[in-house]
Structure 1
Amino acid sequence: MTQAVVVQVGQCGNQIGCRFWDLALREYAQFNKSALYDDAVGTFFRNVDSSDGTHLAAGGRIQLLKARAVLVDMEEGVVSEILQGPLRDVFHSTQLLTDVSGAGNNWAVGHMTYGSTYREKIVDKLRKAAEQCDCLQSFFLLNSMGGVKIRRCSRPCSSASAGVVDLQLCFLDESVCTPSLAVRRSLTTKTTCQ
């Protein structure tokens, strides 16, 4: 069984992620009538004991699904909405990293201020999420992107969320990734993020 860790960054990444988790849960409910925790469900979710939060092995009945995800946003509004909505039980507070002021859709502020300030915390959350996987296949990154190339890592990105996560992507590329473990990014349009 292989797993993917979804990394949602910024307003756009968290809004797309919210929709992704909703659709994933609906799809699994539609096709997994027996409510068994199998490889398909285990790709994006952990099955935990509802009484003590311990991880349950594949093949058993689904008790409580927790997303294999890390949610990062330097303005807490969207993450707060997710935690107050119907998906509130899918995430645990240890998977979240927010701040109150935001980067104002400014790549440089996201990269230089928040990226360096929160680097260790983000890397720690990514490491913990990866450690909860039996066979980590990928990090699936959801964030807003533009067309600017960053010379250091040759990545196209221009939004504040892209600035925040750029340092972490470089870390993943240099420290974690192998040819079979690639960082994947979603390409979004402006209308998707609104």
Structure 2
Amino acid sequence: MKLYNFITVGQCGNQIGCRFWDIALREHANVNKKGVYDESIGSFFRNVDTRYNDPLNIPIGSGRGKISSLKARAVLIDMEEGVVSEIMKGPLREVFDHKHLITDVSGSGNNWAVGHMEYGPRYHDQISEAIRRSAEFCDCLQCFFVLHSMGGGKCHVTWWR
């Protein structure tokens, strides 16, 4: 099975990413209320045991519906916490692993240079750790999808193998 990890960056990337996860859940999970998911959902989500602070993976289709929960294979990054905070207050709040959310309060004011020169070095280790941790949950990582803005709010999707 191919497994994909998503890295959503900035306001645009996180808004597009949130819409993607909403559609993916509607397509795969809403039809199944028992928590026994088919294999195709595993490309985008982890099925985890919710009894633990650091959720353990449960094989997809194992039939452990009462203790299982879906977690998106995603890292959300934004130096202005507004969009990520709104996502975490909305209906998708349980889908994201809180250890894979990286935010700051002030933001870079839509200035790429500030984000690159100030926040990049400051959060480099935390971002690398979150991406590494997310990748380690994959048995066979196929690629990373990076959703981010390319100036002026035009969203751009990058695909890395």
Residue in 1 aligned with 2:49? Answer: 49
After superposition, residues 167-186 of structure 1 pair within 5 angstroms as: 183=160
Residue in 1 aligned with 2:96? Answer: 91
In 2, are the aligned partners of 1:48 and 1:55 still within 8 Å (CA)?
yes
Q: What residue ranges of structure 1 are gaps of 5+ in the alignment? A: 147-157, 163-168, 170-181, 185-194
Distance 1:128 1:111 in 2: 23
Q: Highest relative contact order (Cα 8 Å, sep 6+), 1 or 2?
A: 2
1:102 lines up with 2:107 in the alignment: yes
Q: Deviations over 1:94-127 (max 9, x none)?
A: 0100000001111111111111111111111100
Residue in 2 aligned with 1:117? Answer: 122
Residue in 2 aligned with 1:78? Answer: 83
Distance 1:99 1:54 in 2: 28
Count of paired positions: 154
Distance 2:30 2:51 in 1: 26
Residue in 2 aligned with 1:7? Answer: 7
Deviation at 1:31, TM superposition (A): 6.0
Quick check: which one's strand share is greater? 2
After superposition, residues 182-193 of structure 1 pair within 5 angstroms as: 183=160
Quote the sequence identity (%).
Answer: 58
Deviation at 1:139, TM superposition (A): 0.6
**SS across alignment from 1:143:** strand
Q: Deviations over 1:51-84 (max 9, x none)?
A: 2222101331352000010000000000000000
**SS across alignment from 1:4:** strand
In 2, are the aligned partners of 1:2 and 1:134 still within 8 Å (CA)?
no
Deviation at 1:22, TM superposition (A): 0.4
After superposition, residues 10-21 of structure 1 pair within 5 angstroms as: 10-21=10-21
Q: TM-score, normalised by structure 2?
A: 0.86
Residue in 2 aligned with 1:190? Answer: none
Distance 1:12 1:59 in 2: 34
Partner amino acid, structure 2, of 1:135? C
Residue in 2 aligned with 1:60? Answer: 62
RMSD: 2.3
Residue in 2 aligned with 1:140? Answer: 145
Q: TM-score, normalised by structure 1?
A: 0.72
Distance 2:30 2:93 in 1: 21
Q: Deviations over 1:115-143 (max 9, x none)?
A: 11111111111000000001000111111
